[in-house]
Amino acid sequence: SIGTVMLRHRTLIEVLGQVNSAEVTGAMLFNREGVLLAYNGYGEGNAANVSAALISSIWEAFDKKGVAGGREDLKEVVIMCEDGVLGATKVANMLLALKATSAVQPGILRAKMHKLSEFLDEPLTQISKNI
Amino acid sequence: MNLFHYSFLINSYSKMVEVGRSLQEIITSTPGISSIFITDRDGVPIASSGTETRSRQALVQSYQMTMEPASKLDMGPQKYAFFYYDQRQVAVITVHPMVIFIVASPDTNSGVLMSMGERMEPLLQQLEKIIGDLP
């Protein structure tokens, strides 16, 4: 039933905020269609919505495009641009993305992303089962 | 086609063989890398070496599809992109006007793959020259 598992939105936003540092400036959680569930550090306005939609379309393009047999699931993406770095990974049936300044060490960004996705995996899997 | 064109094409061909050989050398000297291929910015294949995979063209197409959304992320021009799968990782390095795709094992150090762009700079210059010279 719906009543047994509830998502505490404020807590989720706080958890997402825990990865924020001088270099890691934002985190967000969205579904495969690019619909935002929660975000932290993306400021006001539409920036998080737009980013979620863009990242989900990039994910869609590369999922199932693994080389061995061509049917492998995509696990993680890191895109490094001149003015910033973006990482995305799967959590339950959703996507988690972190954005950082170009000063970030990609290894640190990935480690933070792995920790956060590990932490969120169990509760989010519970929720997705109950919806 | 006259004699000049023939000699020119043979010359370009032998240069391309040389490029392929250099790519192969990079693959054998770097543990974990199984394949490298280079395209122009429109996704047209220019040079390749290593294990031929069926999904090579699919990867190039996917990358072409993501160029536009990635440019809207408000992070400036793209330099590197890494895609991690269970069995492989794919690194995409943009060195204008070319794009390098490197397929490697998932545990290959991504930093090493990043440095490939610099390592391949002379090779890319050579390629650019060959392509620029084509009639």
Q: Count other C-beta atoms under 10 Å from residue A92's C-beta.
A: 19
Least confident of A4-18, B22-36, B73-87, B99-113: A4-18
Yes or no, beta carbons of A67 and B87 under 8 Å apart: yes
| Predicted pLDDT at B28 | 93
Instruction: Inspect the interface and report whether the beta carbons of A77 and B82 lie closer than 8 Å.
Output: yes
Percent of chain A with pLDDT over 90: 60
Yes or no, beta carbons of B72 and A50 under 8 Å apart:
yes
Within 8 A of A66 by CB-CB distance, chain B residues are: 55, 85-88
Chain A partners within 8 Å of B109 (Cβ): none
pLDDT, residue B4, reads 65
A26-82 pLDDT, tens per residue? 999 999 999 999 999 877 678 889 999 999 999 999 997 755 555 778 999 999 999
What residue ranges do the domains of chain A occupy?
A: 2-130
Q: Which residues of chain B are within 8 Å of residue A73 when distances are taken between CB atoms?
A: 85-86
Structural domains for chain B = 3-133 (3.30.450.30)
Q: Is the ipTM of this structure higher than 0.85?
A: yes
Instruction: Pick from B33, B84, B87, B94 the residue to mutate for testing the A interface (most A CBs within 10 Å).
Output: B84
User: What is the pTM assigned to this prediction?
Assistant: 0.89
Question: Which of the listed CATH numbers 2.40.50.100, 3.30.450.30, 3.40.640.10, 3.40.50.10490 matches domain A2-130?
Answer: 3.30.450.30
Q: How confident is the model at residue A25 (pLDDT cuts 50, 70, 90)?
A: very high
